A and B are shown apart, each in its own frame.
Chain A
Amino acid sequence: MAFVLTHLVPGDPAVANLGDRASADPVAVRIYREHFGLDKPLPVQYFVYLGNLLHGDLGESEQSQRPVSTDLAEYIPATAELAITSIVLACLLGITLGVIAALNRNRLSDQIIRVVSLGGMSTPQFWLALVALYIFFYKLSWVPGSGRLDAIVLPPPHLTGLFTIDSLAAGQFDVFANSIQHLILPACVLAAFNMGLFTRFTRSAVLEVLENDYVRTARAKGLPELTVVFRHILRAASPPILTVVGLAFGNVMTGTVLVENIFSWPGIGQYSYRSATALDLPAIVGVMLFVAIVYILVNMVVDILYGIIDPRVQLA
Chain B
Amino acid sequence: MQRRTTFLIATLSVLAVLLAACGTNGGSTGTTGKTLVVDDAYTWDFSKDTDPSRGGVDFDADPFFHAIYDSLLTFKLGDSSTPIPLVAQSYTVSPDAKTFTFIIRKDVKFADGTPLTAHDVEFTFNRLLNLHDNPVYLLDGITSMKATDDYTFVLTSSVPNPAIPFIVTNPALGIINSKLLMAHGGSDAANAATADSAHDFLGTTSVGSGPYTMASVSTSEVVLKANTNYWGPDKPNFGTVIFRNVAAATQLIEIQKASNQIELSLSGDQAASLKSNSALTVTSFTSPNITFAFCNIKTTPACANQHFVNAIRYGIDYQALVSVAGAGSAQAPGVVPTQFLGALTQAQAIQRDVTKAKSELQASGITNPTIQLDYTISSTGLNDSLAAKIKANLADVGITVNLNGQPSSIATPNYRGGKYHLGLAGWAPDYPDPNDYLAFLPGQLVGLRAGWPTGAAPDIEALGARAGSTPDNATRGPLFQQLQTLLNQESPMLPLIQPGQSVVGTKNLTNVIYSPVWYLDLASIGT
Q: Which residues of A are at the interface with B, using a C-beta cutoff of 8 A? A: 9-12, 15-16, 18-25, 27-28, 31, 63-66, 71, 74-75, 130, 133-134, 137-138, 141, 144-155, 172-181, 184, 261-266, 270-271, 274, 276-279
Contacts and interface: CB of A to CB of B under 8 A. Distances in A.
B412 interface: yes
28 contacts: A9-B409, A11-B410, A15-B417, A16-B409, A20-B445, A22-B134, A22-B137, A24-B448, A65-B199, A75-B219, A133-B250, A137-B253, A144-B25, A145-B254, A152-B35, A172-B27, A172-B29, A174-B27, A176-B16, A177-B19, A178-B20, A178-B23, A180-B21, A181-B20, A263-B250, A264-B245, A264-B246, A277-B407
Nearest to A66: B47
A261 B257 contact: no
Contacts of A144: 25-26
A67 to B, nearest CB: 11
A75 to B, nearest CB: 7
A25 B408 contact: no
B167 to A, nearest CB: 12
A13 B253 CA distance: 36
Interface in B86-135: 132-135
B150 interface: no
B419 to A, nearest CB: 10
Given A9-B409, A11-B413, A151 B244 contact: yes
B430 interface: yes
A154 B413 contact: no
Interface in B14-58: 16-17, 19-23, 25-32, 35, 37, 43, 45, 47-48, 57-58
Interface in B308-359: none
Given A12-B417, A146-B254, A264-B250, 9 more contacts: A10-B410, A148-B220, A152-B32, A153-B31, A177-B27, A178-B25, A261-B247, A266-B218, A271-B219
B136 interface: yes
A185 to B, nearest CB: 12
A277 B379 CA distance: 11
A175 B48 contact: no
Contacts, number: 184
A157 to B, nearest CB: 10
Contacts of B240: 152
A262 B133 contact: no
Given A130-B253, A137-B253, A151-B242, A31 B27 contact: no
A150 B246 contact: no
A268 B197 CA distance: 28
B413 A16 contact: yes
A184 B26 CA distance: 15
B454 to A, nearest CB: 14
Contacts of B221: 147, 151
Contact of B134 (A21, A133, A153): A21
Q: Which of A25, A74, A134, A151 has the most CB of B within 10 A?
A: A151
B193 interface: yes
Contacts of B410: 9-11
A145 B409 contact: no
A23 B250 CA distance: 33
Given A16-B412, A174-B29, A278-B409, A151 B253 contact: no
A180 B409 contact: no
Closest 6 CB pairs of A and B: A154-B30, A174-B27, A177-B23, A180-B20, A19-B134, A266-B220
Interface in B343-384: none
Interface residues of B, number: 61
B465 interface: no
A154 B135 CA distance: 33
A181 to B, nearest CB: 6
A180 B13 CA distance: 12
B250 A64 contact: no
B249 interface: yes
A15 B413 contact: yes
Nearest to B22: A177
Given A63-B45, A153-B26, A23 B409 contact: no
B25 A181 contact: yes
Contacts of A148: 220
B348 to A, nearest CB: 27
Contacts of B524: none
B179 interface: no
Contact of A133 (B23, B219, B253, B413): B253
A266 B219 contact: yes
A13 B20 CA distance: 45
Interface in B173-220: 193-194, 199, 216, 218-220
B416 interface: yes
Given A151-B35, A177-B23, A181-B25, A264 B244 contact: yes
Q: Which of A27, A265, A279 has the most CB of B within 10 A?
A: A279
A264 B136 contact: no
B27 A150 contact: yes
Nearest to B250: A146
A23 B417 CA distance: 9
Interface string B393-435: 0000000000000011110111011000000000000100000
Contacts of A146: 246-247, 250, 254
B482 interface: no
B257 A147 contact: no
A177 B26 CA distance: 9
A21 B57 CA distance: 10
B256 interface: yes
Contacts of A20: 416, 445
